[in-house]
Amino acid sequence: MPRLEWTTADMKTSSDDTDWEKGTKMAFHDLLTDPPIDVGTPTIEEISMAIRQIKSGKAAGPDNIPAEASKADVAVTARILHTLFNKIWDEEQVPTDWKEGQLIKITMKGDLTNCDNYRGITLLSIPGKVFNKVLSNRMKDCVVDQLRDQQAGFRKH
């Protein structure tokens, strides 16, 4: 059976498997590099933006801090959270409460003795949501610039 041949990076024809491996690594290296995401501590500006992005009118999480309380004075809240987020960043330890939520059952129409007529929602900590939003914003900013038009699935346009 004839061996397949391909063109190497230096434009020579080869059928050597080692050349193939080197060539594919070089070809895909430029396509699939890790996007450069900012890994510095969150700034007050990032935190302020994330606070404004949190939805109002939702139930408070397990810590009983409503979103509206955080939004009442964004500058003050951002400074407080900045101190907290820097501590989390330095220690690389997210509070356990932020990893857990309070599951609440919401009734839907129908027979309330039937479990299928309920849906669950999880109430999460607002400071935890702000922290996650800061990280999410960083990733979105970086990834959107890196993705090609052909990689448009599940993206906002």
Rounded Cα–Cα distance for residues 126 and 66 (Å) = 7
User: 14: number of CA atoms within 13 Å, CB side?
Assistant: 14
Token pair, residue 83, equals 């101190």
Determine the Cα–Cα distance for residues 81 and 129; give it in Å rounded to an integer.
Answer: 12
Per-residue pLDDT tens digits for 69-103: 999 999 999 999 999 999 999 999 999 999 999 99
Nearest CA to 106 out of 118, 122, 98 is that of 118
For 15-63, the pLDDT digits (tens) are 666 766 777 777 777 666 665 676 889 999 999 999 999 999 999 999 9
